Structure 1
Amino acid sequence: MDRSGAAPPYLRIVGEIKRRVEAGELRAGDRVPSTRQVAEQWGVAPATAAKALNTLRQEGVVVAISRVGTVVAESAPRSFPPPRVPGAPRRRERRQPAPSAAPDGKRERMVRTAIAIADAQGFDAVSIRSVAAALGIPTMSLYGHVRAKEELAALMADTAFGELELPAMPPAGWRARLELAARLQWRLYLRHPWLPRLVSLTHPQPMPNMLRYGDWGMGTLRELAIEPDAGRFVWWAVCNYVRGTATNLEPQAESERHTGLSTGDWYSAHLPRFRAGMPSGALPTRPASPGDQSAFDLTGFFESGLQLLLDGVAVLIGRQRLS
């Protein structure tokens, strides 16, 4: 037993999560940190983290949902008595003010630092701990600005999309405008190869800069004389094509870091084995020269595929206008 009167670590975690619920930082249905995240945030053993979450479940504050995780219960109370520590004298506890909901310069600096880490080392290198280390501050001090890596990732993606300079007067013609929209997104992914994995077609983030880009791009389709549903599918197809192609950028960068070989050098080194395994003659008959990117250029592939996609859009528009 801790005779000093201090709460055991698991009760301190329980108290902090209750405080977030009481302050409205966590609402019914919101996910709470997982056992791994609790252990990382509070610097405790996984068993201690599990005990804290189990205590919250027993008290009806959270509930575990299959394939979702642990979330705040619909019936969770909105006020809690101070935690009672066995053997400790009762005392009035001073409530700590909730972190400000308004973002400040510290959060922006944290997000920019996370982006710099991802640009240099890949998204897997980003964590609350690595960002804190880069900033030279305690890890726990960042949790007043983001609750988990998932929230940090959303802020990173939206900040990156804020770099897009969208022309107020886009080029004339639907095709030129869609080409511009696709190339702007492609160039953004070239700058941030980790970004495509944070962009979802099925679970998009309603973030300001990402919504701004989407509204700007879909403005092109609103001017076409086609059905609204068809227009939306065109926009989604273009965005998903760009993102899908760009998912190769981060693995490409990672492979170059590990092997020291460019794409052209890789093809040069492996083309004989490719030809041996594919005797149909579809591959080039000679390897590319060292440093030659002609074997496979991802941006060239993107441009060629974009034209094929827009050719299909042109056919769709023609059919809709004739019907």
Structure 2
Amino acid sequence: MSLARIVRTAIQIADAEGLSALSLRGAAARLGVAAMSTYRYVPSKDDLVPHMADAAFGEEPYRADAPEGWRARIELGSRTLWSLYRKHPWLARLGSRTRPLGALDGHGLDPTTLFDIHVLLYSPVQGLAVHLEMEADAEASTGQSEDQWMDSRAPALQELVESGRFSTFTKVVAAFEDGYDLRLDALFEFGLKAILDGPTSIVERQEAVT
């Protein structure tokens, strides 16, 4: 028994069933030990979760060979963060606010502007990743995948379309040949360029005057 084993087991439970399904008692059962024995290492679930986050974020350590240029480094950080959210959907509710800051440093930005841009760059990634956690939680609680759930709701959606009460919704839905898939990876790729384009002019303008 060790804190590291408890953390690894807790991560496995959260990955499979969601953070809401995690408990110290459940982790102890998975480890095959008495529930009280885990309290020697961590007093509560609230104390356990930061250890889990540290371990999960530690799977992608700082890279000494980070690319040149703030935009390339932000893009790398975004993709790294997205891959971690993909592996551990529960991380989306915790977020990461510290490690990528260095990519924006040294470009003449005042501290407030620097941090504002940092938050605006990474918040959409985290926000999109919340859907990963929602999907994982829903599948764990219902036993249905997203496609299975949507299939089960097809009659209700068809009734909504045929009601005529929502003309724009009806028009958009009718335009899809095979329905709409929430392709989160594609949405991440689609949005990343737009997210990076926004602050580019601010950074470049500030670099020009410093």
Tell me how far 1:109 sits from its aligned partner. 0.2
Shift in CA distance, 222/200, structure 1 to aligned 2, threshold 3 Å: closer
- C-alpha distance in 2, partners of 1:122/1:114? 10
Shift in CA distance, 198/153, structure 1 to aligned 2, threshold 3 Å: same
Shift in CA distance, 173/107, structure 1 to aligned 2, threshold 3 Å: same
Q: 5+ unaligned residues in a row in structure 1: which ranges?
A: 1-104, 202-213
SS of structure 1 residue aligned to 2:14: helix
1:279 aligned onto 2:163:
no
Could you say which structure has the greater relative contact order, defined with CA pairs below 8 angstroms and 6 or more residues apart? 2
Counterpart position of 1:303: 189
Post-superposition CA distance 1:159-194 (Å, at most 9, x none):
101101432111222211101101101100100011
- C-alpha distance in 1, partners of 2:167/2:52? 46
SS of structure 1 residue aligned to 2:54: helix
- C-alpha distance in 2, partners of 1:274/1:173? 49
Contact kept, 8 Å, 1:146 with 1:152, in 2: the verdict is yes
Taking only the aligned residue pairs, the percentage that are identical comes to 36
Contact kept, 8 Å, 1:111 with 1:155, in 2: the verdict is yes
Counterpart position of 2:10: 114
SS of structure 1 residue aligned to 2:89: coil
1:266 aligned onto 2:162:
no
Q: 5+ unaligned residues in a row in structure 2: which ranges?
A: none
- C-alpha distance in 2, partners of 1:273/1:298? 27
| 119, 122, 128: which one aligns with 1:245 | 128
Counterpart position of 2:74: 178
- C-alpha distance in 2, partners of 1:277/1:126? 42
Contact kept, 8 Å, 1:264 with 1:296, in 2: the verdict is no
Q: TM-score, normalised by structure 2?
A: 0.83
Shift in CA distance, 166/136, structure 1 to aligned 2, threshold 3 Å: same
- C-alpha distance in 1, partners of 2:145/2:165? 22
Post-superposition CA distance 1:190-243 (Å, at most 9, x none):
000111123376xxxxxxxxxxxx34x222111323223212222222222221
Shift in CA distance, 261/115, structure 1 to aligned 2, threshold 3 Å: closer
Post-superposition CA distance 1:118-168 (Å, at most 9, x none):
111111111111011111111111111111110001111111011014321
Task: Give the CA RMSD over aligned residues.
Answer: 2.6
Contact kept, 8 Å, 1:111 with 1:152, in 2: the verdict is yes
Q: TM-score, normalised by structure 1?
A: 0.56
- C-alpha distance in 1, partners of 2:69/2:197? 14
How many residues are matched? 202
